[in-house]
Amino acid sequence: MQTLSENRAFGGVQGVHAHRSESCDCEMTFGLFLPEDAAHVRVPVLWYLSGLTCTHENAMTKAAAQGWAAEAGIALVFPDTSPRGAGVADDDAFDLGQGAGFYVNATQDPWAAHFRMWEYVAEELPALLAAEFPLDMERQAICGHSMGGHGALTLAMGLPGRYRSVSAFAPIAHPTQSDWGRKQLGAYLGADEATWAGHDATLMMRETGFDGPVLIDQGGADQFLELLQPEALAGAMAARRQEGVFRMQKGYDHSYFFVSSFMEDHVSFHAEALVG
């Protein structure tokens, strides 16, 4: 592992690190914020998964999360959204290929060789973090925005007992029934739609739900509402009597202005589950 940068922030350290990933068979970069408490004790972990076109850097610089995490004594992990590099398959469209890993393990060519973001986020990166940093991996929570909200919800429900809480900003909520989903799941996983179900938060909520609290914020003026289908997830949460809150925020769009406006709420929500 190589440390690319470290900056003092809110009494802690915001780092950027790179390493050779076996899962994705390329170099991967991630951001890690360690609060001041990490100098003395192992600290709980909040994952933040970003959306389409993003890298590790977008949320790290725009989400305004570090100050609230420092106050709560929580580390923040900002993974990249896909494998990258000259030898990694890509597409001319912004919503497929590099920057659009969709948090799945691809089984179809040309994506299968590198696009294993589920394995990377669920297995490889947690093992690296546990070995290299003072993190309490028994206390993890997960959050995400848009495609990252999809990833956060599906990982949380797909890995029971891993995360104590899950939240999302404007998640791609029902990808098996949306153009933001059918295109990517078909390309990465193939035409058999039965293999898609484990990557659809609405279907997973209907089937199993999440064994902890859920917080969803959706902008009421989001320009991508028809693609996100928040009403499907809200209905599934209500039908399941899922512990959680779904909030429609009047006037907010899909941008990081929306995310940063409610980040304090999300960090506090996770802090309650992680720290008490």
* Residues labelled as active-site residues: 146, 222, 254
Cα angle 91, 203, 247 (rounded to 5 degrees) comes to: 90
| Edge-to-edge strand list for the sheet holding 244-249 | 2-9, 12-21, 26-34, 75-79, 43-49, 135-145, 166-169, 214-219, 244-249
**Cα–Cα distance for residue pair 222/38, rounded to 1 Å:** 37
- Phi and psi angles of residue 81, each rounded to the nearest 5 degrees, phi first: -95, -5
**Cα–Cα distance for residue pair 195/193, rounded to 1 Å:** 5
- Phi and psi angles of residue 181, each rounded to the nearest 5 degrees, phi first: 155, -60
